[in-house]
Amino acid sequence: MSALARASGLCVVFAATTAFANTDITITDKDAGKTIMVSPGDSLTVNLPGRHGEGTWRLDGDLTPELTLSGRTMESVAVPDAPETTDFSFMPRVAGTVTLKTSYAKSGADTAPSNTFTATVTVK
């Protein structure tokens, strides 16, 4: 096989590999109640709104083995009642369906959830 043929073959392999690149999927509170389809190797981010100092979003339940939590971040200006965003990042691992549930727990003595988010995630 000539060097040109080998190089061409490498290009074909590279093109086929990039055609199946993993996808970054972000869902928000507007996706509540929906079914989200993901594949192993994709990244899934759940972006939820809140207010600085009012409370925090928490996961309600185990999502394994289908999803693995890979991170949780909060972004806000450190001013009381300023808009705040919480991002949960997940890596889909194995095929199956799970119900992703979160709740917004109030700060202070009354920790009853003031908001919830639920979506169905299917890993294909």
- Residue ranges of domains in the chain, CATH in brackets: 22-123 (2.60.40.2020)
Cβ atoms of 100 and 120 closer than 8 Å: yes
Mean pLDDT, each 10-residue run in order, the chain (124 residues): 44 41 92 97 96 92 96 92 96 97 86 88 97
Q: Is 79 helix (H, G, I), strand (E, B) or coil?
A: coil
Would you state the pLDDT for residue 40? 95
Terminal-to-terminal C-alpha distance of the chain: 39
| pTM, to two decimals | 0.78
Would you state the pLDDT for residue 108? 76
